[in-house]
Amino acid sequence: MSASQTRTVRSLAEQVASTHLCDLEDVSIRRAGRRRVVRIVVDHAGGLSLDLVASISRDISAALDETDALGDAPYVLEVTSPGVDRPLTLPRHWVRAVGRLVEVTLMDGGTFVGRVTQGGHDSAWLDVDGHTRELRLDRVRSAVVQVEFARIEDTELEDAGGTEEPDEG
């Protein structure tokens, strides 16, 4: 795949993603036998539903079929979300991570874990051990959302109707 073909595919995918109010996160193209696998990663502020992914996939496929961006070779198109293990590298990633627990490694090598309470253009604010900490994004070497497995509290279960006895009838 030439660099110009990759740029063309990225441009088409970015146009389609923006019409669906989504952000294009990544485009990769690799060979798989005679075919090419085109993997498009998109994100949406409210999360991605299966219907939205299907709609984006149809539109990107149609756009690719209308051009010669991939030449004559057949391709398989994969449209997906970034996944929970995506590093937080852009301000919008921090905004979308509000409420999530993140592990941060600073440029100076220090590390800490905190819950994102607010994201901004240059900074994010985290609750670290009960204290709010402003984090300048230009001081972050890496940051990754942590997967949390939390037990549902009994009161939440009751509110959801989960503690009622089943009917015996």
Q: What's the pLDDT score for residue 134?
A: 95
Q: Where in the chain is the domain with CATH 3.30.300.70?
A: 3-80
Q: pTM to 2 decimals?
A: 0.69
Spatial contact of 99 and 107, defined as CB atoms under 8 Å apart: no
Q: Where in the chain is the domain with CATH 2.30.30.100?
A: 91-145
Q: What's the pLDDT score for residue 169?
A: 47
Other residues' Cβ atoms within 10 Å of the Cβ of residue 30: 10
Q: What's the pLDDT score for residue 166?
A: 45
Does domain 91-145 fall under CATH 3.40.190.90? My reply is no
Q: What's the pLDDT score for residue 68?
A: 80
Spatial contact of 78 and 40, defined as CB atoms under 8 Å apart: yes
Architecture of 3-80 per CATH? 2-Layer Sandwich (3.30)
Q: What's the pLDDT score for residue 1?
A: 60
pLDDT average per 10 residues of sequence, the chain (169 residues): 82 95 92 90 87 95 88 89 84 90 94 93 94 95 87 55 48
